[in-house]
Amino acid sequence: MSKTFADKVRDVVRQIPKGKTMTYKEVAVKAGNPKAARAVGAVMRSNFNRDIPCHRVIYSSGQLGHYNRGGTLRKKAILKAEGALK
DNA sequence: TAGTTGACCGGAA
DNA sequence: ATTCCGGCCAACT
């Protein structure tokens, strides 16, 4: 397994279906480290690509996390557009 | 190599 | 409800 945590995270986040939101912890669990929620954010922040719908990743508290340029508002708009948000 | 930072999480005050 | 603290992990300097 030459895949690093970052690679796994990217793969997992990319598999998130449209109109669906996943928490950082869930992603961390699927990535292989249930306690690496923080690392997930750190990795995404350094690897945020258009291939990765990082906007579909939110807090486990149900709150929208941060986002590149704009922050929460951006995510809200995207989630609303995808139907993930009410 | 080691130390600091951060897009987190959960619990406590 | 808000604020603070400790813990885990990866990336950056």
Q: From first to last of the 86 residues of chain A, give the pLDDT tens digit.
A: 658 889 999 999 999 998 888 999 999 999 989 999 999 999 988 887 778 888 889 999 988 888 876 566 565 545 555 655 56
- pLDDT on residue A68: 77
Q: Which nucleotides of C are covered by protein (CB under 7 A)?
A: 7-12
Query: Residues A51, A10: contact at Cβ < 8 Å?
Result: yes
What is the C-alpha separation between A4 and A28, in angstroms, rounded?
13
- pLDDT on residue A74: 60
What is the C-alpha separation between A41 and A48, in angstroms, rounded?
10
Query: Residues A44, A52: contact at Cβ < 8 Å?
Result: yes
Can you give the pTM of this predicted structure?
0.84
- pLDDT on residue A25: 94
Q: Which of residues 49-68 of A touch strand B (CB under 7 A)?
A: 54, 57, 59-61, 65-68
- pLDDT on residue A39: 93
Q: Which residues of A are catalytic?
A: 54
